[in-house]
Structure 1
Amino acid sequence: MTQIPVFDGHNDTLLRLWQRDDPDGGIAAFLAGGAGGHIDLPRARAGGLFGGMFAVFTPSRDLGDDYIAMMREAAYDVPLPTPLPIADAQAATFGMVATLLRIERAAGGTLTVCRSAGEIRAARGRESFAAVLHIEGAEAIGPDLDALHVLHAAGLRSIGPVWSRPNVFGHGAPFRFPSSPDIGPGLTDAGKAFVRECHALRLVVDLSHLNEAGFWDVARISTAPLVATHSNAHAVTPHARNLTDAQLDAIAERDGMVGLNLATCFLRADGRMRADTPLDAVARHLDHLISRLGEDRVGLGSDFDGALVPADIADVAGLPRLFEALGRHGYDAATLEKIAWRNWLAALERVWGA
């Protein structure tokens, strides 16, 4: 199969680089290769990845690595981390934003931070990797929303109000299996004001980590397309982080977008975090998402560098194996191209404008 170009809706590579001990923060290793994890620039080229949403995520001090082990069990309910102090979140957020801007400066034109769909297309045309700045959990932003405007000026174009922990804006969906996403209250008054301001700025408001009440709050407040950058189908895997058919139908009605998550706990019918997850599990979710959303509103939201993905993919260089498997499953070349990149660019244009 000819290599398919890919635009990915979600990765956590900035966190991995920001946490490295390298004097330059892992920038040289990202650009030249050897940075570890799932993504660096040479492996992105090998896998056909020409761009994607680079998430800024502040880790919780009280959420250790043992939560991964918990998700290998038959059922689990990972405790929600405590809210983050804003000073901690701002230090991490500004550090990761600076990392991405430093990569752009060091890249010599081989990576571009893009602020519009037109810039993504232009970057691809000159073979420059197109990186879009995204924030996963808005803890670095206070209720006055001043930091939101500063980050927007720095290039922010997509943001999730919450990660899977509460903050001043609302409540997230926990890592719980089996479970409905209908858990607890949704957006606070500050969260509703936050969504209105994001709408005014034409930012993507990412629904992926919101609980169900928060999802419907966003749907009521904003008239923009509804977007979940890295979420799967609850009907296939009944995990609290996955989207119900009612949510998927609402996204379809609003001409929105869902990025299919490769984290194995959201793919497997048993909800477990296991690398030996077959690629058939990806195909089952894709089948269901397309059945509710249509073939024009589904893409990839890999969660590379933030999750355990199937061993048959392993890292970004393994994306051709994923699309080969989807081709064998029955998807034709035109549909695979939509899923790989065309749908994401069309959805971003619907939110941002051209």
Structure 2
Amino acid sequence: MIPVFDGHNDFLQRVVAGGTDIWTTGDGTGHLDLPRARQGGLVGGFFAIWIPAPIGPNDAAAVALMEHPPFAMPLPPQIPFAQALPHAFAQASALKALERTGTLDIVTSARDIRRTIAEGRIAAIMHMEGAEAIPDLDGLHLWHAAGLRSLGPVWSRPTAYGHGVPFAFPSSPDTGAGLTEAGRALVRECNSLRIMLDLSHLNEAGFNDVARLSDAPLVASHSCVHAVSESSRNLTDRQLRMIADSRGLVGLNFASSFLREDGRRLPLEGFETMLRHLDHLLAILGEDGVALGSDFDGALMPRDLPDAAALPALLAAMRAHGYDAALIRKIASENWINLLERTWGA
């Protein structure tokens, strides 16, 4: 079985709600748990800390709107630090609890990833999606000491550091102002600490600012192609070329609404559209710049890729499409690990 290293999941919210048993034995809900990870060949990935929005894209009213484009959901308001921190702390604690089961390691280097995988455990990267729980650079250092090695300055709402893209279709990602002064300082400090900066959810002006300021490869952990699906969350060819020029990487998001050409929030049928996105990414980024970023437990999955156990079906579709074994292994896991080595050091 070809191993898979995944660029994004939102599983920690489920652990906070249900405890570690939903990881070790599964509860029949969601997209991810240890049994399904084993079945699908998942060997590691980015486990996101995310602050719930008062109204999110998976709520009933938003789902109804997103099923019938065009739509443009307004950005949720900024969440204050005092409200964000307890959520972030609970999810970080949940990840530590998973580590105590002996089935998963929180990894902070490429060497750690390789060792953990070789020893048969899941390699988990502590990622923060939206920096509401980081009040300042001292707070960033504290989170780094706790194991944080990947950070998206925003989710799809503003923070003290920048502005996210709304959920909108059809729409450009060019939706607002760039990074704040605090955001520019955050980029520089992340570079100093070798925390990977994640550009998924960041608007185009903020993307441009990170590209100008950062000395690390540019990364979008869970994004799709705007030329295939005109969602504000997807990356334009210009952005993809900038990522390619930095020797960076894009992890393909499995969210049906970002994959579908019509932008509808309905389950994607078959793998043809996912392969169109992958072909486009490969044409611009090359074989070393494309990976996977599922968004498990955070989005509506395709009909034929309902959870982590189904990952081999995607790899089989790549093979049937003409990708050879070496390329599939790169996309499935090797490109992520090599990118992190370039970003973090060995």
Shorter chain as normaliser: what TM range?
A: over 0.9
Q: For residues 205 and 92 of structure 1, what CA distance do their matches in structure 2 show?
A: 21
* Residue from 194, 197, 218 that aligns with 1:226: 218
TM-superposed CA distance for 1:29, in Å, is: 2.1
Q: Are 1:347 and 2:301 an aligned pair?
A: no
| Contact 1:177-1:271 at 8 Å conserved across structures | yes
CA distance in 1, matches of 2:344, 2:43: 20
- Preserved contact between residue 268 and residue 277 of structure 1 (Cα < 8 Å): no
Cα drift, residue 168 of structure 1: 0.7
Q: Following superposition of structure 1 onto structure 2, how do residues 122-201 of structure 1 map, counting pairs within 5 Å?
A: 122-142=115-135, 144-201=136-193
In 1, the alpha carbon distance for the partners of 2:63 and 2:11 equals: 18
Q: Determine the structure 1 residue equivalent to 2:276.
A: 284
1:236 aligned onto 2:234: no
| Alpha-carbon distance between aligned partners in 1 of 2:291 and 2:268, rounded to the nearest angstrom | 23
| TM superposition shift of 1:65 | 3.7
AA in 2 matched with 1:218: V
Distance in 2 between residues matched to 1:288 and 1:16, nearest whole Å: 33
SS in 2 for 1:230: strand
TM-score in terms of structure 1 length: 0.95
What is the CA-CA distance between 1:276 and the residue it aligns to? 4.0
- Indicate the residue corresponding to 2:258 in structure 1: 266
Per-residue deviation, 1:167: 1.1
CA distance in 2 between counterparts of 1:69 and 1:14 reads 26
Q: Output the CA distance in 2 between the equivalents of 1:303 and 1:122.
A: 25
Q: 2:37 aligns with which of 18, 41, 44?
A: 44
Following superposition of structure 1 onto structure 2, how do residues 89-100 of structure 1 map, counting pairs within 5 Å?
89-100=84-95
Q: Is 1:57 matched with 2:55?
A: no
What is the letter of the counterpart of residue 105 of structure 2? T
> How far apart are 1:274 and its partner, in Å?
1.0
CA contact (8 A) 2:151 2:195 kept: yes
Deviations 1:169-208 (A, max 9, x none): 0100111100111111010011101111111100100000
Separation in structure 1 between the aligned mates of residue 283 and residue 220 of structure 2, nearest angstrom: 17
Which one of 287, 294, 303 corresponds to residue 302 of structure 1?
294
SS of the aligned residue for 1:185 comes to: coil
Shift of 1:35: 5.6
Partners of 2:313 and 2:291 in 1: how far apart?
Answer: 16
1:77 is aligned, of 67, 72, 75, to: 72
> Residue 222 of structure 2 aligns to a residue in which SS?
coil
Distance 1:146 1:53 in 2: 23
Q: What secondary structure sits across from 1:337 in the alignment? A: helix
Partner of 1:208: 200
SS of match in other structure, 2:341: helix
1: distance between equivalents of 2:267 and 2:94?
Answer: 29
Q: 2:312 aligns with which of 310, 320, 330?
A: 320
SS for the counterpart of 1:133 is strand
Q: TM-score scaled by structure 2?
A: 0.98
Offset, 1:327: 1.1
Aligned partners of 2:46, 2:61: CA distance in 1, in Å? 27
SS in 2 for 1:50: strand
Contact kept in structure 2, 1:263 and 1:309, CA below 8 Å = yes
The answer on whether the counterparts of 2:50 and 2:88 sit within 8 Å (CA) in structure 1 is: yes
Equivalent-residue separation in structure 1 for 2:178 and 2:321 (angstroms): 38
> What is the alpha-carbon distance in structure 2 between the residues aligned to residue 344 and residue 171 of structure 1?
26
1:147 CA drift (Å) = 1.6
The answer to whether the 8 A contact 1:116-1:353 is kept is yes
Deviates more, 1:30-39 or 1:288-297: 30-39
Tell me how far 1:48 sits from its aligned partner. 0.2
Q: Partner letter of residue 66 of structure 1?
A: A
Matched position secondary structure for 1:74:
coil
Work out the CA distance in 2 between the residues paired with 1:213 and 1:222.
14
Q: Deviations over 1:214-254 (max 9, x none)?
A: 00000011111000000111111111110011110010010
Structure 1 contact 171–184 (Cα < 8 Å) conserved: yes
Moved more, 197-206 or 267-276: 267-276
Unaligned 5+ segments in structure 1 are: none
Instruction: Report the secondary structure of 1:229's partner residue.
Output: strand
**CA distance in 1 between partners of 2:28 and 2:94 (Å):** 14
Equivalent residue for 1:115, pick from 108, 111, 117: 108
Show the counterpart of 1:34. Answer: 27
1:69 deviation in Å? Answer: 2.2
Aligned letter for 1:92?
H
User: What letter corresponds to residue 111 of structure 2 in structure 1?
Assistant: G
Q: What is the alpha-carbon distance in structure 2 between the residues aligned to residue 50 and residue 220 of structure 1?
A: 33
